[in-house]
């Protein structure tokens, strides 16, 4: 059965279909090769297409965001979600070249703003496209919601495995497993002892796994992938705190 919905809604989806707790959950985070390879979806600059980037084809497009947001907001998105060191210069160039409607236009603007030369190892447009896509689809919020939903949906002894493709996603997964397994770092000896949190909901947290050279040779897009996994305990799922992302 294939159900199209968000990761954060998996426990609701299971309940609506009369399915109880499950034995295993795998989350494959981010954009898919099928989306990247379709120029009309606007996720990639490898072929020119409309600046769309919407996962669900609903709401504002990437072009809407870039043509309407102010320079400071664009720079914030590039810095926060793309870890782009020249975020301000790129944002200024985007604003000065509006309207922008095509992926090829945006890539060219970023390259000019960063002084890119043909033949350099990495294309600076990659970080900009990543940042806009993550912002537009609220991907990091959805990942956090998906992890919490998976915690609620697994049987004791069930395994959760997550594949991430960049450091922002991996940090969220690493922090989630660290917190939920009770492995958060101890506080300073010069400060009062922190109040013990809820009992661990995950155990047997595995070391992260990266693709082998052979796998990367077969599938170059796997080069940045990282797999983390852990096993569910019998402890009830943690309750969301006020102000937490959902």
CA distance 219 to 91: 33
pLDDT band at 186 (very low <50, low <70, confident <90, very high): very low
Average the pLDDT over each of 7-16, 33-42, 100-109, 163-172 and give the range with the smallest value. 33-42
Looking at domain 7-30+139-188+198-232, what is its CATH homologous superfamily?
Vaccinia Virus protein VP39 (3.40.50.150)
Rg over alpha carbons for the chain, rounded to the nearest Å, is 20
pLDDT at 127: 94
- 102 phi and psi angles, rounded to 5 deg: -125, 150
For 154, what's the count of Cα atoms within 13 Å in the CB-facing half-sphere? 28
pLDDT band at 193 (very low <50, low <70, confident <90, very high): low
In the chain, what are the domain boundaries? 7-30+139-188+198-232, 33-137
pLDDT tens digits, residue range 198-241?
A: 899 999 999 999 999 999 999 888 888 999 999 999 999 998 75
**Whether pLDDT at 135 is above 60:** yes
CA distance 211 to 233: 28
pLDDT at 114: 93
pLDDT band at 43 (very low <50, low <70, confident <90, very high): confident
pLDDT at 30: 76
Pairing, β 22-28 against β 154-164: parallel
CA distance 94 to 149: 37
**Whether pLDDT at 192 is above 80:** no
pLDDT at 53: 94
The helix/strand/coil state of 1 is: coil
CA distance 229 to 206: 6
Average pLDDT over the chain, rounded to an integer: 89
**Whether pLDDT at 110 is above 60:** yes
Tokens (6 digits) for 239? 């309750």
Residue whose pair of structure tokens reads 């707790």 in the numeric block: 21
Q: Are 44 and 107 in contact (CB under 8 A)?
A: no
Question: Helix crossing, 125-137 with 139-153: angle to 10°?
Answer: 60
For 235, what's the count of Cα atoms within 13 Å in the CB-facing half-sphere? 16
Helices in 26-185 by DSSP H: which ranges?
A: 33-36, 62-68, 71-82, 87-96, 103-114, 125-137, 139-153, 167-180
The domain over range 33-137 is classified in CATH as 1.10.150.170: yes
The answer, yes or no, to whether the previous bond of 99 is cis (omega within 30 of 0) is yes
Estimate to the nearest angstrom the gap between the alpha carbon of 108 and the chain centroid: 25
CA distance 146 to 25: 10
Name the residue with higher pLDDT: 107 or 245: 107
Sorted by sequence, the CB contacts under 8 Å of residue 96 that are 6+ apart come out as: none
pLDDT at 52: 95
Average the pLDDT over each of 3-12, 86-95, 220-229, 236-245 and give the range with the smallest value. 236-245
**Whether pLDDT at 37 is above 70:** no
pLDDT at 47: 87
């Amino acid at each position: 059965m294939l159900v199209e919905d968000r990761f954060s809604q998996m426990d609701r989806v299971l309940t609506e279909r009369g399915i109880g707790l499950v034995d295993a959950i795998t989350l494959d985070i981010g954009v898919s090769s099928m989306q990247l390879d379709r120029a009309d979806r606007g996720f990639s600059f490898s072929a020119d297409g409309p600046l769309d980037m919407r996962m669900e084809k609903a709401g504002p497009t990437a072009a809407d965001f870039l043509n309407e947001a102010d320079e400071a907001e664009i720079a914030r998105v590039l810095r926060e979600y793309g870890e782009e060191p020249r975020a301000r210069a790129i944002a200024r160039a985007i604003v000065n070249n509006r309207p922008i409607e095509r992926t090829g236009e945006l890539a060219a603007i970023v390259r000019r703003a960063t002084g890119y030369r043909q033949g350099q190892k990495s294309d600076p447009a990659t970080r900009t496209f990543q940042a806009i896509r993550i912002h537009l689809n609220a991907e990091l919020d959805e990942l956090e919601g998906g992890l919490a939903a998976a915690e609620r949906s697994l049987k004791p002894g069930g395994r959760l495995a997550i594949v991430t493709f960049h450091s922002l996603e991996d940090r969220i997964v690493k922090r989630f497993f660290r917190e939920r397994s009770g492995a958060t770092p101890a506080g300073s000896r010069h400060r009062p002892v922190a109040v013990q949190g809820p009992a661990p909901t995950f155990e047997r947290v595995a070391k992260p796994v990266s693709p082998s050279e052979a796998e990367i040779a077969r599938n170059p897009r796997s080069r940045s992938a990282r797999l983390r996994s852990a096993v569910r305990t019998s402890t009830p799922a943690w309750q969301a705190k006020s102000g937490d992302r959902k």
